[in-house]
Amino acid sequence: MVLKRLQRLFGGDPAVEAREALERAHREALERRREWENECAELADEIEAFRFYEDLADETDPECPIITKRGEEVLLVCHGPMLTETRRAPKARYGGSSHGLSIKIAKGVYYRPSVHRGTIEQAPEETRVIDGEDGDGVFVVSNLRAVFRGNLHSREFRWDKLVSVSPEQVGGSWVLMMPVENRQRVSGVYVGTSSSADFVMRRILFGVALHQDRGDEFIDRLEGELADLQASPPSVPELISPTA
């Protein structure tokens, strides 16, 4: 009895350690289950919103940050993102080398015919925030385009000119880079967390799908993703006391 009490007091009881490990695994499994449930609910809400995308925003509202075009349906109005752009670092350097023989032609005078090869090495491009650091940036996604509006710059990303959409991690946050045709620099929006990036990117891809008359196909694909997700719920082990 005394030995068991000492083991419990100083943490040396195998039964206590096993119980704590089981409880820890149970808590972690519950957290994974909650995350799975939230992911399923969010995806189901998105599917429902996409089915009735005409009601996502009121384009005639004076508070709408852009003047919409004929037939344009706003899918997302996001306040607080920042505008990024690829910029080349200001410094470049010259690198090269020469080679050849050194020939003595007089006392103290040498002739060295040589070949020199070199290139100007440009500094690498960097993704920089150029607007929105004051928190006043607005990013709008519609079925025709995306628009960033800030105090210093505005950028339009027309879907018929869009080359790609790619998430890029900058530090601990995420940027959605969107190169468009006939624009040398690549612009994007700094959206923060990975979950925010997923949400905004899904709206962008749905806008592109609507522009290409493939909105129903996009919704069908999301429904398939939801079905696959719901078919694989994380298991939660039963909390049963281990036998001594």
The pLDDT tens digits of the residues spanning 147-181 come to 999 999 999 999 999 999 999 988 888 999 999 99
- Chain segment 89-136, per-residue pLDDT in tens: 665 555 555 544 544 445 555 445 544 455 555 556 788 899 999 988
Residue 109 token pair: 């005078």
Structural domain tally of the chain? 2
The residue written with tokens 């007091």 in the block is 9
- 224 and 137 within one domain: no
| pLDDT value of position 141 | 96
Q: How far apart (Å, rounded) are the C-alpha atoms in residues 160 and 157?
A: 9
Residues 31 and 79 in one domain: no
Same domain, 145 and 202: yes
Question: Is residue 23 domain-shared with residue 135, that is, in the same domain?
Answer: no
Compute and round to an integer the Cα radius of gyration of the chain: 30
Q: Which of 29-43, 86-100, 175-189, 212-226 has the lowest mean pLDDT?
A: 86-100
In the block, tokens 């007089």 appear at 106
What's the mean per-residue pLDDT of the chain?
Answer: 83
Together in a domain, 12 and 130: no
Q: In a 3-state reduction of DSSP, which class is residue 77?
A: strand
pLDDT of residue 21: 81
Per-residue pLDDT of 189-213, as tens digits, reads 999 898 899 999 999 999 999 999 9
Helices (H), the chain: 2-9, 14-51, 194-211, 215-230
The answer to whether residues 199 and 219 belong to one domain is no
Q: Are residues 148 and 64 in the same domain?
A: yes
Asked if residue 237 lies in contact with residue 25, where contact means CB atoms within 8 angstroms, the answer is: yes
203 Cβ contact list (under 8 Å, min separation 6): 75, 76, 141
Range of the domain at 24: 1-51+214-244
Same domain, 153 and 235: no
Q: Is residue 147 part of a domain?
A: yes
* Structure token pair of residue 163: 């080359």
Co-location of 237 and 169 in the same domain? no
Nearest CA among 19, 74, 34 for reference residue 203: 74
Instruction: Report residue 6's pLDDT band, with 50, 70 and 90 as the boundaries.
Output: low
**Is 77 inside a domain boundary?**
yes
Give pLDDT, residue 18: 77
Pick the closest to residue 240 from 57, 22, 34, 80 (CA basis).
Answer: 22
Q: Are residues 184 and 156 in the same domain?
A: yes
Q: Which residues contact 78 (CB under 8 A, 6 or more apart)?
A: 138, 139, 140, 141, 191, 200
pLDDT of residue 117: 56
Determine the Cα–Cα distance for residues 130 and 186; give it in Å rounded to an integer: 12
Does residue 101 fall inside a structural domain?
no
Matching residue, tokens 């790619």: 166
Checking if the pLDDT of 227 tops 90, the result is yes
Q: Do 78 and 32 fall into the same domain?
A: no
> 79 and 192 in one domain?
yes
